[in-house]
Amino acid sequence: MRRAREVELALGPRPDGVSLQHWLYSEIRAAILSRRLQGGARLPASRDLARRAGVSRGTVLAALEQLAAEGYLVAVVGRGASVAADLPDQAPEPPPSSRPAAASTGARLAARGLALIEETPFPVAAPSWPLPAFRPNQPDVAAFPLDLWRRSAARRSRLTRVDLLADGEAQGYGPLREAVAAHLRQSRGIACEKGQVAIVASVQQALDLLARLCLDPGDAVWMEDPGFPGARLVLAAAGARIVGVPVDSCGLDVTAGRRLAPNARMAYVTAGRQAPLGMPLALDRRLELLAWAEAAEAIVVEDDYDSEFRFRGLPLAALKSHDSGDRVAYVGAFSKMLFPALRLAFVALPGALVDPFAKALSLTCRYQPTAAQATLFDFIAEGHLGRHIRRMRLLYAERAEALRDAASRRLGGALVIPPILMGLDTPAFLAERRDGAAIVRRAAERGVEVRDLSYYAVDRPAPAGVQLGFAALAPAAIDEGMARLAQALEEVR
């Protein structure tokens, strides 16, 4: 990889009584020893350095010559001076006045800051690659049509208009929002127009803004129990009082929600595919939920959660498709459809929230990068998104069957995997009571990553079992991972 080798050099003020040459020498030496200037970095030309420092070129040359004589710099005719790879001594201790303050006297976090950092279900550092079996929630990025994306990006960069270099709309690039609205009308049955759509960085960002717009501290929010921790934690960090509402084979138990918190201000649901158990929300429950939301003047946040990848039949209509009272905010992410690093998502908003949401976006993040949005629009408009989703449905369906087959052969009934109708992962229920945390630890020792279903619990115990991701794994990797998981299960009784 080519790197810029010449550096910008920041210089501190010259202390009283210190000569210009000694000041310049000391500043460059300190920058080298503290590693602000790395080995091989080329210093600015002496004329440029003299102009920036406000000294004569002779002063600069004298300071550089002294540093070169002491081994800090290497001078090459025609190329100027560069930092030596091997330094003559170690970095000196910083003076007391510049040492970092002790942790106890550092910045104090506010209560909402502490809530934000209490826990996160997402990696802070980049995760390991290649992915281990059976990390949940992972699409197969190796199957993404990268050449088609490169072509779209290259063509867009050549055709970029001047206006696309200026500020963009807070709600997002207009043609992309129109394409998203069309996609939702066709594949989800949502009566949605471009003006209702906003482009965001992630579902998490949409949830955070919706919570800040619609909830006061202490307001109750219905949360599926078990349910998606990413939603629960970001809503709680916004000051919501989380109320775990049980789920059964038909999805969220709305009657239980009415009993637990009849006046809740928001409900979060994964209606198309419940996270983590996988069942869709039944039609009667959908209508009951919408009737409650209208009576309580509450907002329902519907998270798409992998509903695109339905292996049998057509994709299910969204809860929002029944939303005659205009109470549902529908959120989805391109990160799972395409690749996680894209960091683009969307929300289809109730009419009353369109202007407030746009203003909140403008204040907090302005807008998402227009170039990436334009490239994504081209990718959709040329039909690549639709073809990619159809191809991945077939691929993921094959891998779901490979997972169930490997479990049947390898596990001897220790885990019960229900039919997998959609998504990137599946729950696997323990046939007999075992320590889920111990299974997770033993599996990790064998290079296998599973997630205990208790991780998704809110107010009541989750079913005994683990979550298994399969979409990013070839059948051979699935079989090998299942063999290792079988060993872990044997050791936990």
Domains of the chain are 1-100 (1.10.10.10), 144-383 (3.40.640.10), 387-491 (3.90.1150.10)
Residue 334: which residues within 8 A CB-CB, separation 6 or more?
342, 344, 345, 346, 376
Whether residue 120 is predicted with pLDDT greater than 80 in this model: the reply is yes
Whether residue 233 is predicted with pLDDT greater than 80 in this model: the reply is yes
- Which of 33-42, 105-114, 200-209, 241-250 has the weakest average pLDDT? 105-114
pLDDT band with cut points at 50, 70 and 90 for residue 94:
very low
Residue 158: which residues within 8 A CB-CB, separation 6 or more?
none
Whether residue 125 is predicted with pLDDT greater than 90 in this model: the reply is no
Instruction: Round to whole Å and give the CA distance between 354 and 171.
Output: 9
The mean per-residue pLDDT over the stretch 313-321 comes to: 86
CB neighbourhood size of 77 (10 A): 5
The mean per-residue pLDDT over the stretch 50-67 comes to: 86
Identify the residue whose tokens are 């619990």.
Answer: 457
The mean per-residue pLDDT over the stretch 387-409 comes to: 96
* Residue 78: predicted pLDDT: 64
Packing angle of the helix pair 203-214, 229-237 (nearest 10 deg):
40
* Residue 149: predicted pLDDT: 93
